[in-house]
Chains A and B, each alone.
Chain A
Amino acid sequence: MRAALKEALSRGWVRMVALVCAATVGARIAGAVLSSEIHFSATLAEPGKFSRLEVALLLIGAGISIALFFRRFGPILCIIFRSKKDKDFSLHPIGRRMWDFFWEVLCQGKVIRQRPLPGLAHAFVFWGFLAFALVSLNHLANPFGLAFLRPASYVGNFYFLFAAIWALLVAVSITVLFVRRFLARPIWLGEKLSYESGVIAFLIFLLMVSYLGAFFVGDGGAAVKALWWMHTLTLLVFLPLIPHTKHLHLVLSPLTVFLKRDGFSKIPPLSSDEDFGLIAGKDVTQLISLQVYSCVECGRCTEHCPASNTGKVLNPKEIVLGVQSYLNQSGPASDAPLLTEALVESRDNPPARYMSMEAAFECTTCGSCEYQCPVGIQHLPIIIGLRRGATNTGAWEDTHGTKLFLALEKQGNALGLSAMERDKFIQKQGFPIFDGTQEYCLWLGCMGGYDPKGREIVADFARVMRYLGTSFGVLKKEKCTGDPARRLGNDLVFQTMAESGLKAFEAAKVQKIVSICPHCVRTISNDWREYGIAPEIEHHSEFMARHKDRLPQQNSGESIVYHDPCYLGRYRDVYEEPREIVARAGELVEAPRSHERSFCCGAGGGLAFLGEETGERVSHVRAAELVATGAKIVGTACPFCNTMFRDALSSMGDAPPQLLDIAQLTARALPTMQKTGER
Chain B
Amino acid sequence: MKILVAIKQVPERDAQIGITASGRWIDESDLNYTINEPDAYALEEALQLKEKNGGEVVVMCAGPERVGSTLREALAKGADRAIHIEANDLGERDTLGVAQVLAEIAKDEAPDLILTGLQSDDLGLGQTGVVLAELLGIPHATLIMHVEKTATGLRVKRELEDGWFQYVEMPLPALLTIQSGGNKLRYATLMGIKKAKTKETKTLQAAAAVSPSIALERVYLPEKQKETEMLTGTPAEVAAKLVEKLKFEVRVL
By a beta-carbon cutoff of 8 Å, the part of chain A in contact with chain B is 270, 273-274, 276, 391-394, 397, 399, 401-402, 405-406, 409-411, 418-420, 490-493
Contact indicator B190/A410 (Cβ below 8 Å)? no
Q: List the B side residues contacting A394 at CB < 8 Å.
A: 186-187, 189, 191-192
Contact indicator A276/B191 (Cβ below 8 Å)? yes
Contact indicator A391/B189 (Cβ below 8 Å)? yes
Contact of A402 among B13, B186, B190 (CB under 8 A): B186
Looking at the assembled complex, report how far the CB atom of A366 sits from the nearest CB atom of chain B, in whole angstroms.
Answer: 25
Contact indicator A402/B14 (Cβ below 8 Å)? no
Most chain A CB within 10 A, of B185, B186, B187, is at B187
State which residues 38-60 of B face A: CB under 8 Å.
none
Contact indicator A420/B14 (Cβ below 8 Å)? yes
Asked whether A276 and B190 contact (CB < 8 A) given A399-B184, A406-B185, the answer is yes
State which residues 208-247 of B face A: CB under 8 Å.
none
Contact indicator A392/B184 (Cβ below 8 Å)? no
State which residues 181-203 of B face A: CB under 8 Å.
184-194
Complex-state Cα separation, A409 to B189, whole angstroms: 11
Q: List the A side residues contacting B192 at CB < 8 Å.
A: 394
Q: List the A side residues contacting B193 at CB < 8 Å.
A: 492
Determine chain B's interface SS by DSSP, over half rule: loop
Q: Which residue of B lies closest to A392 (CB)?
A: B190
Q: Which residue of B lies closest to A408 (CB)?
A: B187
Contact indicator A419/B191 (Cβ below 8 Å)? no
Q: Which residue of A lies closest to B12 (CB)?
A: A410
Q: Which residue of A lies closest to B192 (CB)?
A: A394
Q: List the A side residues contacting B184 at CB < 8 Å.
A: 397, 399, 402
Contact of B190 among A406, A418, A419, A492 (CB under 8 A): A492
Q: How many inter-chain residue pairs (CB < 8 Å) link A and B?
A: 49
Contact indicator B189/A392 (Cβ below 8 Å)? yes
Contact indicator B187/A411 (Cβ below 8 Å)? no
Q: Which residue of B lies closest to A389 (CB)?
A: B191
Complex-state Cα separation, A398 to B118, whole angstroms: 26
Contact of A418 among B14, B186, B187, B189 (CB under 8 A): B14
State which residues 90-148 of B face A: CB under 8 Å.
none
Q: List the B side residues contacting A406 at CB < 8 Å.
A: 185, 187
Q: Which residue of A lies closest to B187 (CB)?
A: A405
Looking at the assembled complex, report how far the CB atom of A533 sits from the nearest CB atom of chain B, in whole angstroms.
Answer: 23
Contact of B194 among A273, A391, A399, A411 (CB under 8 A): A273
Looking at the assembled complex, report how far the CB atom of A414 sits from the nearest CB atom of chain B, in whole angstroms.
Answer: 13
Contact indicator A410/B34 (Cβ below 8 Å)? yes
Contact indicator B14/A492 (Cβ below 8 Å)? no
Asked whether A492 and B186 contact (CB < 8 A) given A410-B34, A418-B14, A420-B14, the answer is no
Q: Which residue of A lies closest to B34 (CB)?
A: A410
Q: List the B side residues contacting A276 at CB < 8 Å.
A: 190-191
**Does B16 sit within 8 A of A, measured CB to CB?**
yes
Most chain B CB within 10 A, of A394, A397, A420, is at A394
Contact indicator B189/A393 (Cβ below 8 Å)? yes
4 smallest CB-CB distances across A and B, nearest first, come from A418-B14, A405-B187, A392-B190, A492-B190
Q: Which residue of B lies closest to A402 (CB)?
A: B187
What's the interface size class on B, roughly?
10 to 19
Q: Which residue of A lies closest to B191 (CB)?
A: A393
Complex-state Cα separation, A406 to B44, whole angstroms: 14
Looking at the assembled complex, report how far the CB atom of A96 sits from the nearest CB atom of chain B, in whole angstroms.
Answer: 32
Complex-state Cα separation, A135 to B189, whole angstroms: 59
Looking at the assembled complex, report how far the CB atom of A30 sits from the nearest CB atom of chain B, in whole angstroms.
Answer: 62
Q: List the A side residues contacting B13 at CB < 8 Å.
A: 410, 418
Q: List the A side residues contacting B12 at CB < 8 Å.
A: 410
Determine chain A's interface SS by DSSP, over half rule: helix
By a beta-carbon cutoff of 8 Å, the part of chain B in contact with chain A is 12-14, 16, 34, 184-194
Contact indicator B189/A411 (Cβ below 8 Å)? no
Complex-state Cα separation, A399 to B14, whole angstroms: 23
Q: List the B side residues contacting A418 at CB < 8 Å.
A: 13-14
Pairs across A and B, CB under 8 Å, 9 listed = A270-B190, A392-B191, A394-B186, A394-B189, A397-B186, A402-B186, A405-B188, A420-B14, A420-B16
Looking at the assembled complex, report how far the CB atom of B72 sits from the nearest CB atom of chain A, in whole angstroms.
Answer: 12
Asked whether A492 and B34 contact (CB < 8 A) given A410-B12, A419-B14, A420-B16, the answer is no
Looking at the assembled complex, report how far the CB atom of A396 sits from the nearest CB atom of chain B, in whole angstroms.
Answer: 9
Looking at the assembled complex, report how far the CB atom of A500 sits from the nearest CB atom of chain B, in whole angstroms.
Answer: 11
Q: Which residue of B lies closest to A418 (CB)?
A: B14
Most chain A CB within 10 A, of B184, B188, B192, is at B188
Q: Which residue of A lies closest to B193 (CB)?
A: A492
Complex-state Cα separation, A276 to B16, whole angstroms: 36
Contact of A409 among B16, B188, B194 (CB under 8 A): B188
Given A392-B190, A490-B189; 11 other pairs, CB 8 A cutoff: A391-B189, A392-B189, A393-B191, A394-B189, A399-B184, A406-B187, A409-B187, A410-B13, A418-B14, A419-B14, A490-B187
Looking at the assembled complex, report how far the CB atom of B74 sits from the nearest CB atom of chain A, in whole angstroms.
Answer: 13
Looking at the assembled complex, report how far the CB atom of A658 sits from the nearest CB atom of chain B, in whole angstroms.
Answer: 22
Looking at the assembled complex, report how far the CB atom of B115 sits from the nearest CB atom of chain A, in whole angstroms.
Answer: 20
Contact indicator A402/B191 (Cβ below 8 Å)? no
Complex-state Cα separation, A353 to B189, whole angstroms: 26
Most chain A CB within 10 A, of B14, B34, B192, is at B14
Asked whether A491 and B190 contact (CB < 8 A) given A410-B12, A410-B34, A411-B14, the answer is yes
Most chain A CB within 10 A, of B16, B185, B194, is at B194
Complex-state Cα separation, A406 to B190, whole angstroms: 14
Q: List the A side residues contacting B185 at CB < 8 Å.
A: 402, 406
Looking at the assembled complex, report how far the CB atom of B138 sits from the nearest CB atom of chain A, in whole angstroms.
Answer: 32
Complex-state Cα separation, A402 to B186, whole angstroms: 7
Looking at the assembled complex, report how far the CB atom of A570 sits from the nearest CB atom of chain B, in whole angstroms.
Answer: 28
Complex-state Cα separation, A397 to B183, whole angstroms: 13
Most chain A CB within 10 A, of B184, B189, B193, is at B189
Q: List the B side residues contacting A405 at CB < 8 Å.
A: 187-188
Complex-state Cα separation, A334 to B46, whole angstroms: 33
Contact indicator A490/B190 (Cβ below 8 Å)? yes
Q: List the B side residues contacting A274 at CB < 8 Å.
A: 194
Looking at the assembled complex, report how far the CB atom of B121 sits from the nearest CB atom of chain A, in whole angstroms.
Answer: 11
Complex-state Cα separation, A274 to B188, whole angstroms: 16
Complex-state Cα separation, A392 to B194, whole angstroms: 10
Q: Which residue of A lies closest to B35 (CB)?
A: A410
Most chain B CB within 10 A, of A401, A402, A410, is at A410
Looking at the assembled complex, report how far the CB atom of A265 sits from the nearest CB atom of chain B, in whole angstroms.
Answer: 20
Q: List the B side residues contacting A420 at CB < 8 Å.
A: 14, 16
Q: List the B side residues contacting A392 at CB < 8 Å.
A: 189-191
Looking at the assembled complex, report how far the CB atom of B87 sits from the nearest CB atom of chain A, in whole angstroms.
Answer: 25
Contact indicator A492/B188 (Cβ below 8 Å)? yes
Q: Which residue of B lies closest to A390 (CB)?
A: B189
Complex-state Cα separation, A491 to B188, whole angstroms: 11
Q: List the A side residues contacting B34 at CB < 8 Å.
A: 410
Q: Which residue of B lies closest to A407 (CB)?
A: B187
Looking at the assembled complex, report how far the CB atom of B136 sits from the nearest CB atom of chain A, in whole angstroms.
Answer: 32
Q: List the A side residues contacting B187 at CB < 8 Å.
A: 394, 401-402, 405-406, 409, 490, 493
Q: Which residue of A lies closest to B40 (CB)?
A: A406
Complex-state Cα separation, A419 to B32, whole angstroms: 12
Looking at the assembled complex, report how far the CB atom of B46 sits from the nearest CB atom of chain A, in whole angstroms.
Answer: 16
Looking at the assembled complex, report how far the CB atom of A397 sits from the nearest CB atom of chain B, in whole angstroms.
Answer: 8
Looking at the assembled complex, report how far the CB atom of B187 sits from the nearest CB atom of chain A, in whole angstroms.
Answer: 4
Q: Which residue of B lies closest to A405 (CB)?
A: B187
Complex-state Cα separation, A273 to B196, whole angstroms: 12
Contact indicator B16/A492 (Cβ below 8 Å)? no
Q: List the B side residues contacting A411 at CB < 8 Å.
A: 14
Complex-state Cα separation, A411 to B14, whole angstroms: 8
Looking at the assembled complex, report how far the CB atom of A587 sits from the nearest CB atom of chain B, in whole angstroms.
Answer: 35
Complex-state Cα separation, A409 to B188, whole angstroms: 9
Q: List the A side residues contacting B189 at CB < 8 Å.
A: 391-394, 490, 492
Complex-state Cα separation, A270 to B193, whole angstroms: 14
